[in-house]
């Protein structure tokens, strides 16, 4: 399989003003054997229409693009639906307001092709838009992933490995669905590879879906725990567990200063201060 097909899975919801920029980065890929699956999650704006206009004006081959429509079910079901209707050997989720560098797919596929022991490939990343900054590099360790998402949502992985998981969990409707999925995909002995280049660009917007995640963070963290309870069984004191996860979560979504100033955070710190955090059972 020297030239495997890559399926780019793009849920579309309320990103009409950005999707053309994202599609331009798809079109610019040096690796050409890809298909794009656009899933209209009953968007209130014309995201799909904007995508069609770009694709038609740039004369993309019809076979390059699959259009789907679904009742509004959130990003997890949109990704699952897109993957079900795709044909690629490799999967690349990409949100319709983010960007990828021209060589990202080429380099990711080369690694997965040459290294069957690697289960997932991602890259260094940065933010652009409302603020611009590189993301700090964090070495991947499976145990760290239990408390902190180390991998952005546009990693490349094999379809065969996706099919061994339940997929993206629809109960993560308000965010963190990528982190939850990686906990299903990656076992303690699995290897991942981070390309040491900034090839993924995450759009920081004034209104961001991660703000929805912020508003539901306790609910989401609790849901991750329940979705993967077996991974956390060697830890104790659930209430302490959630406080520590909350702290990691703040930094992961670049909201530390704003969250630390909230009354809820200060109260949580005060109430949980007496506990010893994350002591494994002896």
With CA atoms as reference, report the closest residue to 26 among 17, 18, 36. Answer: 36
At residue 98, the 3 state secondary structure works out as coil
Strands 99-100 and 118-129: unpaired
Q: Phi and psi for 154 in degrees, rounded to 5?
A: -115, 55
- Residues 141-157, mean pLDDT to the nearest whole number: 93
pLDDT band for position 207 (50/70/90)? low
Q: Taking CA 98 as the corner, what is the angle to CA 35 and CA 152, rounded to the nearest 5 degrees?
A: 90
263-272 and 238-252 are packed helices; what angle lies between their axes, rounded to 10 degrees?
140
% helix, strand, coil for the chain, step of 5: 40, 20, 40
Helix (H, G, I), strand (E, B) or coil at 244: helix
Q: What is the pLDDT of residues 224-281, one digit of tens each?
A: 888 998 888 776 554 455 555 555 555 454 444 444 445 555 555 555 544 444 444 4
pTM comes to 0.82
Average pLDDT score over residue span 142-161 = 94
pLDDT average, residue stretch 18-26: 98
pLDDT greater than 60 at residue 113: yes
Q: What does each C-alpha distance from 228 to 174, 183, 187 come to in angstroms?
A: 18, 7, 12
Assess whether pLDDT exceeds 90 at residue 89.
yes
SS3 assignment, position 210:
helix
Candidates 282, 121, 149; CA nearest to 210 is 149
232: nearest Cα among 160, 281, 171:
281
Residue 44 reports pLDDT greater than 90:
yes
- Give the three-state DSSP class for 220: helix
The counts of H helices and E strands in the chain are 12, 9
The predicted model gives 14-43 an average pLDDT of: 97
Residue 195 contacts residue 107 (beta carbons within 8 Å) = yes
């Amino acid at each position: 399989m020297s030239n495997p097909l890559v399926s780019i899975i793009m849920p579309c919801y309320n990103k009409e003003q950005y999707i053309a920029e994202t599609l331009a980065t798809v079109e610019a890929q040096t690796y050409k054997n890809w298909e794009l699956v656009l899933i209209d999650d009953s968007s209130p704006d014309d995201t799909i229409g904007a995508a069609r206009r770009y694709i038609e004006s740039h004369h993309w081959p019809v076979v390059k693009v699959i259009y789907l429509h679904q009742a509004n079910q959130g990003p997890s079901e949109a990704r699952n639906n897109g993957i079900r209707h795709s044909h690629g050997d490799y999967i690349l989720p990409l949100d319709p307001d983010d960007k990828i560098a021209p060589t990202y797919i080429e380099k990711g596929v080369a690694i997965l092709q040459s290294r069957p022991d690697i289960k997932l490939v991602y890259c260094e990343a940065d933010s652009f838009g409302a603020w611009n900054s590189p993301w700090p590099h964090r070495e991947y360790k499976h145990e760290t992933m239990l408390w902190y998402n180390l991998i952005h949502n546009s990693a490349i992985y094999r379809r065969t490995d996706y099919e061994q998981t339940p997929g993206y969990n629809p109960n993560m409707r308000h965010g963190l669905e990528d982190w939850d999925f990686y906990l299903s995909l990656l076992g303690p002995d699995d290897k991942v590879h981070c390309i040491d280049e900034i090839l993924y660009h995450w759009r920081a917007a004034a209104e961001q879906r991660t703000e929805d995640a912020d508003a539901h963070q306790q609910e989401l963290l609790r849901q991750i725990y329940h979705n993967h309870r077996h991974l956390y069984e060697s830890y104790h004191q659930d209430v302490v567990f959630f406080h520590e996860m909350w702290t990691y979560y703040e930094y992961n979504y670049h909201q530390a200063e704003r969250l630390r100033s909230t009354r809820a955070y200060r109260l949580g710190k005060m109430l949980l201060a007496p506990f010893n955090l994350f002591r494994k059972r002896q």
